Amino acid sequence: MIFRLADFRFPDDPQRLYPQTPQRPWVLEIGFGDGRFWPQYARTFGQAPNYLGVELSGVSLLKANRRLQAAGLDNAVLTRLPADVLVREVIPHGALDLIVVNFPDPWPKAGHTEHRLLRAPFFQLAASRLKPGAGLLLTTDHDEYFEFACAEAAASGVMAVETGEPPPAALETKYALKWRDLGLGVNHARFTPTAHAFVPHGSTSPYPDAVPEQESLPLETTVPHAVLTLPTDFSPHDFQKRTERSPEGRGPDWTVILLDLYQSLRRDGWVALAHVVEGELTQEVLIGITGRADGSHLVRLAKFGGPIITPGVKAAVGTVTAWLESEGAVVKHRGY
């Protein structure tokens, strides 16, 4: 089953995601590609564990979904997101039995290592989401990335590393076969949490150095909106692309780019298209500017595309409102 970010709860739980099999172990695969690993690996268990797969590529998502359906793996959820957003926002603390990363993108060029997934902050995040004794399996052909990941795990202060043989299914993925055809070998390690860098807010930790986790996005359910009166000579033809950034040092970082404005075909009004960036999370959102019976206009986030209401999305509604104010609108109410 394919989930969009908006289909999840924050955090979510296996009872809701896997209502038929909530007690089974929970496995996360990051960057599953065309999805060959899971059908083979799941067979090594008596009953297929609950599976959550995260991938950036939309084409891979569809291919993998077909593969999992053909294999009859019903207790599997696939999503197209950056892995760290999923892990941080969706997975509860201490919930996973296993994380699998097969042949992660190596970003081999000098100066590109900050794009690599397996860096110390990610190991800290992953450790906080694994159950005691659970682990993260890495298989890669790339010697330099392998050494880098082991060094980053050590630097995280919360992961022990043990090298060994990969599970046979990790040697049958698309990239494993590609590297095998080229005669390249593979490296494999299991990273096991030794401590937690983070604890959930309001709970205590057996690890004295653990600090309350700060980095979750504050998500909201109230739809951001504003009510305003447009000047009688208002002309949307003056619209220009604009970019707003969060004030430095005050709350979460976001960037809003108002890209375009369209005339609504159904209603009296317009729809603004905004691109919202918050760390690894990007969303394209639509913000309606709709005429009301009393002559005022409602500026409101549209539900289209299932947006997640983050500080950046609220700021996008604020950016549209601020643009209209600069055109002479008078704001009667702000709900963002």
What residues line the site for ligand SAM (CB under 6 A)? 30-33, 54-57, 60, 82-83, 102-105, 117, 173-176
Nearer of residues 3 and 32 to ligand SAM, judged by Cβ: 32
> Given the complex with ligand SAM, which of 78 and 324 has the nearer CB atom?
78
Report helix angle 120-129 to 83-90, nearest 10.
40
Q: Whole-number minimum distance, CB 81 to ligand SAM, in Å? A: 7
Which is closer to ligand SAM, CB of 104 or CB of 193? 104
By beta-carbon proximity to ligand SAM, the closer residue of 138 and 301 is: 138
Enumerate residues 6+ apart whose C-beta is below 8 A from 308.
5, 6, 217, 219, 281, 283
**Contact of 113 with 145, CB cutoff 8 Å:** no
Q: For 16-79, give the DSSP string.
A: HH-TT-TTS-EEEEES-TTS-HHHHHHTTSSSPPEEEEEES-HHHHHHHHHHHHHTT--SEEEE
Q: What span, in angstroms and rounded, lies between the C-alpha atoms of 32 and 297?
A: 46
From the candidates 7, 13, 97, 105, which is the catalytic residue?
105
First CA to last CA across the chain, in angstroms?
33
105 is in an annotated binding site: yes
Write down the least CB distance from residue 166 to ligand SAM, Å. 11
Shortest distance, position 170 Cβ to ligand SAM, whole Å: 8
Nearer Cβ to ligand SAM (30/261): 30
Compute CA distances 217 → 123, 126, 184, whole Å: 19, 17, 41
| DSSP states of 109-169 | STT-GGG-S-SHHHHHHHHHHEEEEEEEEEEES-HHHHHHHHHHHHHHTSEEEEE-PPPGG
Residue 141 assigned ligand-binding role: yes
Least Cβ distance, residue 85 to ligand SAM (angstroms)? 8
Residue in the shown chain whose Cβ atom is closest to ligand SAM? 31
Any residues with CB less than 8 A from the CB of 196 and at least 6 apart, and which?
93, 127, 128, 158, 205, 207, 210
109 marked as part of a ligand binding site:
yes
Residue 260 designated active-site: no
Contact 82, 280 (CB under 8 A): yes
Least distance from ligand SAM to the Cβ atom of residue 11, Å: 18
Q: List the catalytic residues.
A: 105
**Positions at the binding site for S-adenosyl-L-methionine:** 29, 55, 105
Residues placed in the known binding site for substrate:
109, 141
